Structure 1
Amino acid sequence: MRSLIISIEDVSDRTILEQKFVQSSHETNLLMQQLQRVETELRTAQARFDAFMNQSPVVAFMKNNRGQIVYVNQPLERAFNVKKSWLEGKTDFDWLPEKTARQVTQNDRAVLTAGHPIEIIETVSLDENQPRFWLSYKFPFSSGDQQFLGGVAIDITDRKQMEEALFQEKELAQVTLRSIGDAVITTNAIGEVQSLNPIAEQLTGWSQAEAQSLPLENIFQIVNELTREPIENPVEIVLRDRRIAKFSQDTLLISRSGKEVAIDNSAAPIRARDGQVVGAVLVFHDATQTRRLTRQLSWQASHDPLTGLSNRREFERRLAQAIEIARTGCDPDILCFLDLDRFKIINDTCGHAAGDELLKQIAALFQAQIRKIDVLARLGGDEFGILLHQCPLERSLRIADRLRQEVEQFRFMWGNQVFSIGVSIGVVSLQSTHSSLEQVLSAADAACYTAKHQGRNCVHLHPANCAD
């Protein structure tokens, strides 16, 4: 009986053990299934991570706190022509030139010490003679009780080279602008000042720093030298009409101090590659000396150097204009031809210096008797011409006679000698609509000739039909 009880107890214990074993096996199977699912998910996540990192346009890497590489993506492998399997476990000193490795390691330590991400431009390449520039973003992170450094980087070598080329181009442009003799001002598309070269600073009185972003009209004020009227800002014309703008030779620049400078200037649009106007460039230079010389030469070409009066060429030009105006029906001008009497005696007796002085004094005497709108000229030798502008004939004859009287009363002193002279005057009206310049001059000369042969020192009016 006792052995039967023992046997029953053994069977009972075995049954319990078997049940526990079955339960344990079931739990183990469940655990294994869970582990398999986790492994599958991990492999999927790893594959997804690898695909993401390997298809990324940036290089990526991870290092432990000893500087050993624990991960790189395929873009890094391709960029440096190295294998991931070869790089893992190595430091930068194992595969980069020493100078480069020292720089990269120093940057890595700065990130780990700072404890926050840092963006930096690094020069990293396997050949120091062919540097490549990288925009790197490095950051510290922890996994468990270990600290790591992660980073991504973009190759910006092309961008840096372009920036350098643009910088060199800008430097060359700045050197050129500083070197040329013309003043140059550039503006943006709304006419605000962007730059002035040193000559522009000098002429306007504004420095680059002071003028920056100001409307151009604030620093570049121009007027017409003859009328004193303001001239439209050339850049406004360029930006409005999209064309080059040039100005007359009578432009005056009023500098910041109020100084007036004669300038020649032009403005042109600055266009982008697509043809869009993005600004304007204004080029001008100090034309004071040139304009003074031009006017001096022009004056010399049209004036008698001895008396300062208009010369024969200028007088004939003005006379031709008066003839054309008379043909339109306007009140005609009156031409007076004057020939000094007894001038040759003084010239022969006292010399050419005395003759020249007499001519200057007579010129001043004539000038004092006529209006500013009239034209007085020395035609050559002792001959003068006067063009009385739209003056009635009777009044013109009175003026001519007054001139005759003034000369008659005039006394010329040279040394201890005193001389008196006279003047013969021929008068012609430009009332005819058919007279040419030659006919009018011939008529005036004939009238003066008649005055001389009527006893000198008198005025003779040419008959009206002689001017036809």
Structure 2
Amino acid sequence: MKIDRQAFYLFLQKTVFLFLLSGITLGLLYDDSLKRWDNLFYDGLIRLMGRPAPEDVVMIGIDDLSLNELGRWPWSRRRHAKLIDVLSGAGAKVIGFDILFSEADAADPEGDRLFAAAMRKSKRVVLPVASERLSAIGITEILPLPMFTEAAAALGHVEISLDGDGIQRGLFLKAGLSTAHWFAFSVSILQQSEGFSFPSVPSVLEETKVGSPYTWTGAYPVLISFSGPPGHFKEIAYADVIAGRISSEQIRDKTILVGITASGLSPRISTPVSGESQQMSGVELHANILHALRSGLHFQRIGFIAHLLITLLFVLSPVAFYYYFSPRAAFAATCIVVLMTLTLSGLSLSVFNLWVPPAVSLVVVSLSAPLLSWIRLEGAAQALSLEKERAQVTLHSIGDAVITTDADGIVDYMNPVAETLTGYPFTLASGRPFNAVFHAIDETTGERVSYPVTECISSDNLLRLPESILLLSASGQEYILHVSVKPIYGETRMALGIAVAFSNVTYVRQVAQKLEFQATHDALTQLPNRYLLFDRLKHAIRKAQRHQKQVALLFLDLDDFKKVNDGYGHTMGDLLLIKVVERLRISGRAEDTIARLGGDEFVLVLENLKSETVIATVAQKILDALKPPFLLDNHDFFVGGSMGISLYPKDGDDPETLLKNADTAMYRAKEAGKNRFQFYTKDMNSRVVKRLLMEEDLRRAIKEGELQAYYQLLVGVLEKQVTGVECLLRWKHPKRGLISPAEFIPLAEETGLIIPIGEWVMRTACKQARHWRYLGFPISRVAVNLSPRQFLQKDLTETVARILEETKLPAHCLGLEITEGMIMKNVEGSVETLKSLKKMGVHLAIDDFGTGYSSLSYLKSFPIDHLKIDQSFVRDITTNANDAAISQAIIAMAHSMKLYVTAEGVETEAQAEFLKQNGCDEMQGFHYCRPAPHEIITQKLMVGGASRFM
């Protein structure tokens, strides 16, 4: 029989290759050399299977906060007894302590007895059992004290089972010294809370001895599905529970795990969900185990024989593909096998709770790739040559610098970017030690950074150096770098040298620093903003707590700053703010924080204070610094300040509370007359609430029409009859009745509500005056008071013109009354506004004349029509010679300036006669008419006649 030699060799080749792959597969499965990759894949699956933490599992953490509040660890066990009483009283389902209580408390024996009594009373406390290695004889079992063991509801082992890479992925459901007789800690907790049991785990203790009595034995290993990364489970501070700051609802019917989470005290355990350098505390590890066991998300590893058969199925399939399919189809089929391997591993874990490691299948399947290499050997050689050329072009084109050395650290390659950054051309750098070319220092320490090539090679990993590396170029330039170092290996894994890649991040660092500064500082003044203020204030509070000192928060609001913005523009206002900051820096202490919250609001934080006297001194010094005028653009600006002061810990223990209380005190300082400081007191909050309610009512009053216009008659002395009326505002509150203007007008002025209110009053008065004139009544003028904020409005003239146009009232029939103080705050701007109103034909008067601070030199330049004598001079005009003389002087001065004179507050016939005899032109007051609604005034005008008034 003739044998086809080619077919035979092909069959032999196939057979040898199949046996080779089978042998490699079997060897790798026995060797476990790829277990690291299996672990990585398993860890990734576990992270993908994350789920919300259960609401009924709560950790009580002995954290840094609790240690700060309750003192150094360890604590007396009477404190744990109290914790058990609190938790049991709140209705906790079961309480597990992840704390070993193997030794008596010599300092507080009574605490031990109280702790045992509390456990006995609770009947729901589970304590841990652990092992300890003794150098002389091996391992021993660590049990709680006998009294604790007797009092506890159950014990459970807390022995961790780390894999070869130091990560805990599972545990033994039962373990113990010599025999596996202790259930796991989490299992014991579940048994106490829910009568939990495993069908495959006997409920009785096993008595089979395994080796030495000093050998720790584990049984029934399982893998665990972790719920989430460290910090996933709800944690309550131990101190909060002890102090009663936690409601019972947070404890009732919950499974409680108590353990140490404070930094440096709790042993941290790496888990599949830990991430980079983020390890999990023991108590949270047990919370994850408990949740997984209760949810049925514990996994078994597949048996060796089943694993071998499945792996061989995947490994040998590509051999048939490469022999009977085209190269492209074979490659695609191999990729499908790889995907199927990964898919099977993931599905078996998530659906069947069975872990099938895929690494051996993936690696061995990849070994069949040389079949394709044999077919395309020539093409591969050409591709390799092309790849080398591409790599060379890439290294010369990329924006990062690359330097390579040999195994002795001698430079053998530099790309152009590396030449630029180091300042050395390759011709000079080649053959020189790497550290002689790369002059780097640590920005933080200023020390030289050297790169030991041997250490880099032995690490066998990509090394990333700190981001504070500063390169000193040979050309004198300095660059901030990101540097990574990677060993270079040949085909035999022999180290050939290192490759250093570094990129210039100088500009990125500068931009980041600029952005960071902008995020934490005010753009105009360069002062800290609210974010940085709160950060520093928190730091100051923590420091004050440690040293038993006070912290003062000074809230400064500039008085009348808005008038500068309104009168001179925001550019001038910004310049003024910068000047204010300069004075604040000079008057404040060097160690204090000055911040700008926005607008004209500043905050100062004073630390290391022993008494309020120091605070008052600093506050007054700051206010005094603001008193001298600010010279800007040849103008003097007078800007005072109102300051509120709150103290830690008296007025609050957090930044928000301190700022709110200082703000409240600042408004109280403004109400008291401005340009002063005020310490916060508790009764201020009630005033703030009252003010807010008043503001809310006032806004509603505007909307609901509760504001009413009242009128008071103006009586001409020569005419001996009514010459006009003054419109006065009243508020008829639905519950409080009539509210005095003195009570709500300042609030309206402060909140800006005076603008719509003022327009409404002016429009209402103009409509009513036009109606009276239509009826034939002798109303030659209706007077309306302007508020300071109205007068400073840039569109005041346009507003008056619009209202006169809407109401069809002649301009000369409208009288606008302003005070001396309103004009003097901005003389030039006020004169321009008055001239514009005067040009329209509006009648202008200075109200309450004699009570302000204007000088006669200013008065003669004001385009006004008449003065109104304040009622404070009229009240005692017949009995007080000074008031009589002042009134006579005002009348004489006004007439000399051809100004009309009105006397306010005339209440008696004697006052009226005196004023008449001294030439007063017009009077108003209760003697003639009390303020009343327009209906009553209309009746008076209809039935009164001129004789009624004179």
Q: Does 1:214 align with 2:439?
A: no
Which residue is 1:172 aligned to? 390
Secondary structure class of the residue paired with 2:631: strand
What pairs up with 1:104-143 in 2 under 5 angstroms? none
What pairs up with 1:39-58 in 2 under 5 angstroms? none
- Structure 1 residues 278 and 356, CA gap change in structure 2 (3 angstroms): same
Which residue is 1:406 aligned to? 625
Which residue is 1:460 aligned to? 678
Q: TM-score, normalised by structure 1?
A: 0.58
Deviation at 1:286, TM superposition (A): 1.7
Deviation at 1:245, TM superposition (A): 2.5
- Structure 1 residues 263 and 422, CA gap change in structure 2 (3 angstroms): same
Which residue is 1:343 aligned to? 561
Question: Is the 1:334–1:390 Cα contact (8 Å) retained in structure 2?
Answer: no
Q: Which amino acid aligns with 1:189?
A: A
Q: Paired residue for 1:294, among 508, 512, 537?
A: 512
Measured against aligned partners, the alpha-carbon deviations of 1:291-346 in whole angstroms (never above 9, x if no partner) come to: 22222222221121122222222222222333334344464543221111121222
Which residue is 1:252 aligned to? 470
Measured against aligned partners, the alpha-carbon deviations of 1:53-86 in whole angstroms (never above 9, x if no partner) come to: xxxxxxxxxxxxxxxxxxxxxxxxxxxxxxxxxx
- Structure 1 residues 369 and 210, CA gap change in structure 2 (3 angstroms): farther
Secondary structure class of the residue paired with 1:386: strand
Distance across 1 between alignment mates of 2:651 and 2:406: 58
Distance across 2 between alignment mates of 1:222 and 1:241: 21
Distance across 1 between alignment mates of 2:542 and 2:569: 42
Distance across 1 between alignment mates of 2:381 and 2:429: 27
Show structure 2 runs of 5+ residues with no match.
1-377, 686-950
Question: Is the 1:252–1:260 Cα contact (8 Å) retained in structure 2?
Answer: yes
Question: Is the 1:333–1:389 Cα contact (8 Å) retained in structure 2?
Answer: yes
Q: Paired residue for 1:187, among 396, 401, 405?
A: 405
Q: Does 1:262 align with 2:459?
A: no
Q: Does 1:313 align with 2:531?
A: yes
Question: Is the 2:457–2:487 Cα contact (8 Å) retained in structure 1?
Answer: yes
Q: Does 1:357 align with 2:581?
A: no
Q: Does 1:323 align with 2:529?
A: no
Distance across 2 between alignment mates of 1:268 and 1:240: 10
Distance across 1 between alignment mates of 2:641 and 2:480: 44
Measured against aligned partners, the alpha-carbon deviations of 1:149-196 in whole angstroms (never above 9, x if no partner) come to: xxxxxxxxxxx9999987655443322211111111112334332211
Question: Is the 1:235–1:282 Cα contact (8 Å) retained in structure 2?
Answer: no
- Structure 1 residues 275 and 445, CA gap change in structure 2 (3 angstroms): farther
- Structure 1 residues 172 and 355, CA gap change in structure 2 (3 angstroms): same
Aligned-pair identity (%):
36
Distance across 2 between alignment mates of 1:366 and 1:197: 54
Q: Which amino acid aligns with 2:575?
A: E
Secondary structure class of the residue paired with 1:338: strand
Q: Which amino acid aligns with 2:572?
A: A
Q: Does 1:449 align with 2:647?
A: no
- Structure 1 residues 434 and 340, CA gap change in structure 2 (3 angstroms): closer
Larger RCO, structures 1/2 (Cα 8 Å, 6+ apart): 1
Secondary structure class of the residue paired with 1:390: strand
Which residue is 2:367 aligned to? none
Measured against aligned partners, the alpha-carbon deviations of 1:420-465 in whole angstroms (never above 9, x if no partner) come to: 1111222333346971222121122123223323332223333599
Q: Which amino acid aligns with 1:408?
A: K
- Structure 1 residues 342 and 215, CA gap change in structure 2 (3 angstroms): same
> How many residues are paired up?
308
Question: Is the 1:333–1:387 Cα contact (8 Å) retained in structure 2?
Answer: yes
- Structure 1 residues 311 and 266, CA gap change in structure 2 (3 angstroms): same
Measured against aligned partners, the alpha-carbon deviations of 1:82-115 in whole angstroms (never above 9, x if no partner) come to: xxxxxxxxxxxxxxxxxxxxxxxxxxxxxxxxxx
- Structure 1 residues 339 and 433, CA gap change in structure 2 (3 angstroms): closer
- Structure 1 residues 357 and 256, CA gap change in structure 2 (3 angstroms): same
Distance across 2 between alignment mates of 1:332 and 1:232: 48
- Structure 1 residues 275 and 466, CA gap change in structure 2 (3 angstroms): farther
Which residue is 1:418 aligned to? 636
Distance across 2 between alignment mates of 1:212 and 1:330: 63
Distance across 2 between alignment mates of 1:249 and 1:384: 36
Secondary structure class of the residue paired with 1:252: strand
User: In angstroms, what is the RMSD of aligned CA positions?
Assistant: 3.4
Distance across 2 between alignment mates of 1:223 and 1:254: 8
Question: Is the 2:651–2:661 Cα contact (8 Å) retained in structure 1?
Answer: no
Question: Is the 2:435–2:450 Cα contact (8 Å) retained in structure 1?
Answer: no
Measured against aligned partners, the alpha-carbon deviations of 1:174-227 in whole angstroms (never above 9, x if no partner) come to: 222111111111123343322111100100011222222323222222234455
Distance across 1 between alignment mates of 2:478 and 2:581: 34
* Structure ID, larger Rg: 1
Secondary structure class of the residue paired with 2:608: coil
Q: Which amino acid aligns with 2:483?
A: N
Which residue is 1:387 aligned to? 605
Distance across 1 between alignment mates of 2:453 and 2:473: 17
Which residue is 2:926 aligned to? none
